[in-house]
Amino acid sequence: MNVTFRQKQWTFDSPLTVSQLLKKLRLLPETVLVVRNGQLVTEDQHLQPGDDVRIVAVVSGG
């Protein structure tokens, strides 16, 4: 699966849950939303090799 976050890209070959993905990338679930193939998903969801995953940061500054 292809994963994008803040102009960075990763590819993962084995299936993993959203929660595992966030741990791998050292992201706290409170700071992001995960969109799989255009749909918002919860942390228990399983991501499959063909999925297109976009991580959206939710923290705004200023």
Partner 1 sequence: MRCRKCGAPAVINLRHHKLALCAEDFQTWFVDQTQRSIRKYEMFTHDDRILVAVSGGKDSLALWDVLLRLGYQADGLYIDLGIDGGLRYSEQSKAKALAFAGQHDQVRLMVVDIPGRYGESVPDVARRRRQQQRPCAICGLIKRHEMNRIALAEGYQVLATGHNLDDEVAVLFGNVLHWQVGYLQRQGPVLPADGEGLAQKVKPFCRFYERETAAYTLIRGLDYIYEECPFSLGATSLKHKETLTQLEHEAPGTKLHFYLSFLKAKRQGLLCPSEASAEMLHPCQVCGQPTIAPALCAFCRLWQS
The residues of the shown chain that bind partner 1, judged by CB under 8 A, are 28-33, 35, 39-45, 56, 58-62
Q: Whose Cβ is closer to partner 1: residue 13's or residue 44's?
A: 44
CB of 13 to partner 1, least distance (A): 25
Q: Whose Cβ is closer to partner 1: residue 13's or residue 37's?
A: 37
Please name which of 58, 23, 14, 59 lies closest in space to residue 43, comparing C-alpha atoms. Answer: 23
How many beta carbons lie within 10 A of that of residue 37, not counting itself?
13
Q: Whose Cβ is closer to partner 1: residue 13's or residue 30's?
A: 30
Residue type, 61: G
Residue type, 36: R
